[in-house]
């Protein structure tokens, strides 16, 4: 059963060199408050497993990453995450790329404590060439079909963000898509949940299929209002497209990024939220005076 923790306590429980899974999908429902805290920490040499978005990009920009395991790293409305692209082009990080379906089978294998799962995903593509460690297996039945043996994606810790959680660590999503957060939670040795709002046990409500993460897989839970910003969350928490464009534009220029980091990333989470509020207020006022 999860314990209520602070952002600092969760990040303080992690170690350099760990394999960290991060839930969400692209620029959607990412545990960004926890990611920003890792950027402020002394952690380094991380392997990050993710359907990647700005979580991967920020950690690359902060020099925290040794290796990324992902099917993509995107901002959705902006095709390629700029910091990840720069890290790949410079050779600063290693990258293991799986097909989306293969990645899901890797999570499934890890969640069920299996060494691998067979799949047709990846056959006939270059994945087997660019990931030389992948192997194939032959069906032991009459069909004798050759399949890709996707290795289990296991993690030392997983970080997921949900719209609603209770103080025991049960988590509910309110949007249209659960993504694969439940598999990240099960495939990791321990899982930490950040949530937009925390309630007492019995207060989650809703249909049972929206109760995505069980307390039995959760080590700690923290309430982080707007903690998924700037990524999309549930109803009323759409992705902050204006801020995402500002993030991406700043990433394209070292001086602009230094100014962005100083303004938004030099303080704690409360300072970040206040800086974003002030940025939007200035943008609104400037728009009214044009």
Is 125 within the bounds of a domain? no
Asked whether residue 71 is domain-assigned, the answer is yes
Answer whether residue 245 is part of any domain: yes
| pLDDT computed for residue 2 by the predictor | 73
Let me know if residue 145 belongs to a domain.
no
One DSSP character per residue, the chain reads --EE--HHHHHHT--TT-EEEE-SBTTBS--HHHHHHHHHSS--SEEEEESBSHHHHHHHHTT-EEEEEES-B--SSSSS-HHHHHHHHHT-SEEEE--HHHHHHHHHHHHTT-SEEEESTTTTSSHHHHSTT-EEEE-SSTT--EEEEEEP--BSEEEEEEEEEETTS-EE--SS--TTHHHHHHHBSSEEEEEEEEE-TT---S-GGGEEE-GGG-SEEEE-TTTTTTSB-STT----HHHHHHHHHHHTSHHHHHHHHHHHSSS-HHHHHHHHHHHHHHHHHHHHH-
Predicted TM-score (pTM) of the model is 0.96
Please compute, for residue 80, the number of CA atoms within 13 A of its CA located in the half-sphere on the CB side: 9
pLDDT at 185: 98
**Is the bond preceding residue 208 a cis peptide, omega within 30 degrees?**
no
> How large is the greatest C-alpha to C-alpha distance in the chain, in angstroms?
74
> What pLDDT does residue 87 have?
98
Q: Give the position of tokens 């993509």.
A: 72
Half-sphere exposure of 289 (CA within 13 A, CB side): 6
CATH number of the domain at 247, please. 3.40.1080.10
Place of tokens 């109760």: 211
Evaluate whether 142 touches 176 at the Cβ level (below 8 Å): no
Residue 206 domain-assigned? yes
Q: What was the pLDDT predicted at 132?
A: 87
96 in a structural domain? yes
Question: What is the structure's pLDDT at 290?
Answer: 46
The domain containing residue 22 runs over which residues? Answer: 1-115+152-290
| Chain mean position to CA 50 | 5
Does residue 221 belong to any structural domain of this protein? yes
Residue 208 falls inside a structural domain: yes
> What is the number of domains present in the chain?
1
Q: Note down pLDDT in tens along the chain; length 290 residues.
A: 679 999 999 999 999 999 999 999 999 999 999 999 999 999 999 999 999 999 999 999 999 999 999 999 999 999 999 999 999 999 999 999 999 999 999 999 999 999 999 999 999 999 999 998 999 999 999 999 999 999 999 999 999 999 999 999 999 999 989 999 999 999 999 999 999 999 999 999 999 999 999 999 999 999 999 999 999 998 888 999 999 999 999 999 999 999 999 999 999 999 999 999 999 998 766 655 54
């Amino acid at each position: 059963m999860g314990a209520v923790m602070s952002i600092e306590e969760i990040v303080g429980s992690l170690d350099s060199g760990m394999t960290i899974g991060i839930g969400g999908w692209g620029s959607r429902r990412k545990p960004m408050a926890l990611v920003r805290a890792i950027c402020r920490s002394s952690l380094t040499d991380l392997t990050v497993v993710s359907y990647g978005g700005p979580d991967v990009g920020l950690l690359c920009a902060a020099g925290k990453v040794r290796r990324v395991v992902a099917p993509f790293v995107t901002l959705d409305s902006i095709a390629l995450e700029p910091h990840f692209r720069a890290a790949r082009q410079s050779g600063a990080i290693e990258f293991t790329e799986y097909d989306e379906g293969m990645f899901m089978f890797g999570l499934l294998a890890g969640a069920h404590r299996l060494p691998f799962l067979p799949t047709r995903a990846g056959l006939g593509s270059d994945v087997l060439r660019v990931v030389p460690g992948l192997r194939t297996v032959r069906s032991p039945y009459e069909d004798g079909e050759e399949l890709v043996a996707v290795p289990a994606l296991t993690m030392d810790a997983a970080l997921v963000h949900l719209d609603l959680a209770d103080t025991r660590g049960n988590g509910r999503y309110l949007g249209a898509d659960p993504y694969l957060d439940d598999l990240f939670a099960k495939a990791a040795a321990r899982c930490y949940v950040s949530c937009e709002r925390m309630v007492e046990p019995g207060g989650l409500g809703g249909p049972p299929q929206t109760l995505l993460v069980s307390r039995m897989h959760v080590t700690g839970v923290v309430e982080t209002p707007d903690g998924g910003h700037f990524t999309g969350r549930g109803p009323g928490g759409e992705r902050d497209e204006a801020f995402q464009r500002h993030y991406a534009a700043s990433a394209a220029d070292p001086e602009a990024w230094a100014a962005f980091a100083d303004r938004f990333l030099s303080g704690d989470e409360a300072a970040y939220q206040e800086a974003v509020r002030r940025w939007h207020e200035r943008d609104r006022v400037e728009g009214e005076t044009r």
